[in-house]
Amino acid sequence: MRSVEPGGVARRPREGTGHCQIGKRPHVHLVAATRTTLHLAAIVTFAAGCAAVGNVEEAKHTTTSRHGAFEVRHYGPRVVAETRVSGTFGDAGNDAFRRLFGYISGKNRTQTKIAMTAPVAQRDAEPSSKIAMTAPVGQRLDGDAWVISFTMPDGESLATLPEPEDPRVVLRAIGPRDVAVVRFSGRWTDANIDKQTNALREWLPTQGLVAESPPEVNRYDPPFVPWFLRRNEVWLTVTKPR
């Protein structure tokens, strides 16, 4: 199945457990929609068996402005492979990860293997073509089910990516967008996320920006990384009124 629609609105997840990392910081985007007042989205870095090490490519973007911990970025169109899973945040993430990892490991119509960038970053010159995978993996709550997505590499499209064998895995195109970002370290608690979200919202008017979406919390590290070393971000899709 394939569909084209804008990126999903998400809820804030609770701090996940039991996730590993696909190399170092795969842009494993978990966008979670929670029934809270902020409806935050979460981006979580998963691990590939917790054994892979090295850098994993992040989705390409252009930073248009930077002020301390705040940035404005432009992300071009991209494709995600996503799946719906019921359960707790942690359990759903683990179940969905197995499905999506199966897709990029060759469980698709052409048996194409989608390699993760660094240490399996580059294309492999094997009969089975390999596509570099970028962070993030996204997870959002859709009703009672989580929607988890892997971001596909830049340059791939619905026409070039292989069709998933698993009908529960769907390819979806996401249009370009501008996002305001605040980067911070620390634990994935409601209080910490709310504090950063409020700071980002207060910063937007100083740049003449207006938020167009609920916040997304981007986690670039797995839970076993010490809280003071984690890279976290809150994103807001923004526009500048004319």
Which of 28-42, 99-113, 144-158, 212-226 shows the lowest per-residue confidence on average (mean pLDDT)? 28-42
Determine whether domain 2-239 maps to CATH 3.20.80.10: yes
- The pLDDT of residue 169: 92
- Locate 22 and state its tokens: 């696909």
Contact 137, 43 (CB under 8 A): yes
% of the chain beyond a pLDDT of 90: 26
- Locate 140 and state its tokens: 């959002």
pLDDT in tens, 135-149: 555 545 555 667 777
- Does position 63 have pLDDT exceeding 80, yes or no? yes
- Locate 79 and state its tokens: 């494709």
Model confidence, pTM: 0.59
Phi, psi dihedrals of residue 192, rounded to the nearest 5°: -65, -45
Q: What is residue 5's DSSP assignment?
A: -
- Locate 45 and state its tokens: 């870095």
In the chain, domain spans: 2-239
- The pLDDT of residue 30: 46
Closest CA to 181 of 139, 223, 217, 222: 217
Which of 58-62, 126-130, 154-158, 236-240 shows the lowest per-residue confidence on average (mean pLDDT)? 126-130
- Does position 112 have pLDDT exceeding 70, yes or no? yes
CA 238 vs. chain centroid, Å, equals 18
- Locate 37 and state its tokens: 């007042």
Contact 186, 17 (CB under 8 A): no
CA 155 vs. chain centroid, Å, equals 17
